[in-house]
Amino acid sequence: MKVLSTVEAFRQWRAEAVDPLGFVPTMGALHAGHRSLMERARADCASAVASVFVNPTQFNDPEDCRSYPMTLQEDLAMARETGMDAVFTPSFETLYPDRYRYRVTENEHSSALEGAHRPGHFDGVLTVVMKLLQIVAPHRAYFGEKDWQQLDLVRGMADAFFLPLEVIACPTIREADGLAMSSRNRRLSAAGRDLAPEFHRALAESSTALEARERLAAAGFSVQYVEDAGSRRLAAVELEGVRLIDNIPLAATSAAAASHPLKGAVS
Ligand code: PAF
């Protein structure tokens, strides 16, 4: 597996790589969710690449960026295990020679939900994803459904700019107790970790977003939003100062179960 950190070195490698190429962009601190994306890219494509870059422009809170876990050696080991052919590990200077003078902005959906609580977040995400896609030039790029709004905005950007690639959505990977895998989970104390699965349970077991919000607040979460939008229930909370996000299909909530025509017909 090649570990490449400059655009020139990556493009040289890319020129020889067998098509189609699958790409998994990450910020490192890889967990089973990332593993599933890399496995999918590996299974689907003749060549597979991941990137590891903690992108400062998508952190609205500098402290959140500073405390983001950095585990490059473990990340490379996981990439190797899943059969990645190369990992791109650029520096800030490599990816931002313009020092972020140029950026990609979406000005409707990106200011809602995550965007309302993290001003500038999606400018940073879309800009870095666009830069990475220009360098990596993949046929398919893999994104997790846990970051639903990110997935939706990246899809929209790919369409808007006629990017010649497919954006592939991959299901959220959860711990056995339902907590969505996240690099941030490791910052919870043992007590926080015990409480955290209540986040997913409250989303799934409440009939309305308001009910879920109240249940979470009563359990000790600081709720940023719970909203039903389109086909999903999306939410963000803070627990012990750690920001957690999750979303589920509305069809999987108890509201859907309550309105199902077979309700009560099966026990
Ligand atoms: O989802 C992430 O890990 C990041 O937002 C991404 C897509 C790698 C961009 O930095």
pTM: 0.94
* Distance, CA of 135 to CA of 89 (rounded, Å): 12
Instruction: Specify the ligand 1 atom closest to the Cα of 125.
Output: 9
For residue 178, the Cα-to-chain-centroid distance in whole angstroms is 17
pLDDT at 259: 64
Q: Does residue 33 have its Cβ closer than 6 Å to ligand 1?
A: no
Residues of the chain under the 50 pLDDT cut: 263-267
Q: Does residue 25 have its Cβ closer than 6 Å to ligand 1?
A: yes
Q: What range does the domain containing 69 cover?
A: 2-170
| pLDDT per residue as tens digits for the range 45-56 | 999 999 999 999
Structure tokens of 246?
């999750």
82 and 18 in a common domain: yes
227 and 101 in a common domain: no
10 and 98 in a common domain: yes
94: Cβ–Cβ under 8 A, 6 or more apart, which residues?
5, 6, 7
d(CA 143, ligand 1 centre) in Å: 8
Q: Does residue 147 have its Cβ closer than 6 Å to ligand 1?
A: yes
For this structure, is 31 an active site residue? no
Q: Is residue 175 part of a domain?
A: no
d(CA 27, ligand 1 centre) in Å: 6
* 130 touches 161 (CB < 8 A): yes
Structurally, how many domains does the chain consist of?
A: 2
Instruction: Specify the ligand 1 atom closest to the Cα of 54.
Output: 10
114 and 20 in a common domain: yes
226 and 118 in a common domain: no
d(CA 264, ligand 1 centre) in Å: 43
* Distance, CA of 180 to CA of 196 (rounded, Å): 9
What are the DSSP calls for the chain, one per residue? -EEE-SHHHHHHHHHHSPSSEEEEEE-S---HHHHHHHHHHHHH-SEEEEEE---GGG-SSHHHHHTS---HHHHHHHHHHTT-SEEE---HHHH-TTTT-S-----SGGGSTHHHHSTTHHHHHHHHHHHHHHHH--SEEEEEGGGHHHHHHHHHHHHHTT-SSEEEEEPPPB-TTSPBP-GGGGGS-HHHHHHTHHHHHHHHH-SSHHHHHHHHHHHT-EEEEEEEETTEEEEEEEETTEEEEEEEEGGGSHHHHHH-TTTTT--
Q: Is residue 195 part of a domain?
A: yes
Q: Does residue 157 have its Cβ closer than 6 Å to ligand 1?
A: no
77 and 6 in a common domain: yes
- For ligand 1, atom 1: residue with the closest CA: 26
Instruction: Specify the ligand 1 atom closest to the Cα of 129.
Output: 9
pLDDT at 263: 44
* Distance, CA of 87 to CA of 23 (rounded, Å): 10
Q: Is residue 267 part of a domain?
A: no
Mutate to test the pocket of ligand 1, among 24, 35, 51, 58 (most ligand atoms within 8 A of CB): 58
CATH of the domain at 249: 3.30.1300.10
